[in-house]
């Protein structure tokens, strides 16, 4: 999600290369994010080759920001205990 939140869109190939994961692993994660409505995809052709790009939805961005805030709160709580 972090990659999609800071970029307008990313292709499947670019995500796979950046994250260093297999096609199957990436596809399963993307499917879960799509099911949660955190991402959407667009299929186009570049020349004769299919190109699928993924985009974070508004709902996905909000959920990601809440997740980051929760992690930051955990760190703050831990730092206050020490």
Tokens of 6: 């800071």
The residue written with tokens 């990313």 in the block is 10
pTM of the full structure: 0.84
- In whole angstroms, what separates CA 66 from the centre of its chain? 14
- CATH ID of 2-81, from 3.40.50.150, 1.10.1740.10, 1.10.540.10, 1.10.10.10: 1.10.10.10
- pLDDT score at 73: 95
Tokens of 55: 């985009």
79: pLDDT confidence band, cut at 50, 70 and 90? confident
pLDDT digits (tens, 9 = 90+) for 27-67: 999 999 999 999 999 999 989 999 999 999 999 999 999 99
If one counts every other C-beta atom within 10 angstroms of the C-beta of residue 10, the result is 21
* Alpha carbons within 13 A on the beta-carbon side of 31: 6
């Amino acid at each position: 999600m972090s990659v999609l939140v800071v970029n307008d869109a990313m292709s499947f190939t670019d995500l796979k290369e950046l994250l260093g994961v297999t096609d199957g692993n990436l596809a399963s994660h993307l499917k879960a994010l799509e099911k949660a409505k955190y991402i959407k995809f667009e299929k186009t052709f570049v020349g004769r080759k299919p190109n699928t790009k993924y985009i974070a939805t508004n709902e996905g961005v909000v959920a990601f920001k809440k997740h980051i805030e929760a992690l930051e709160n955990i760190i703050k709580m831990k730092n206050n205990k020490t």
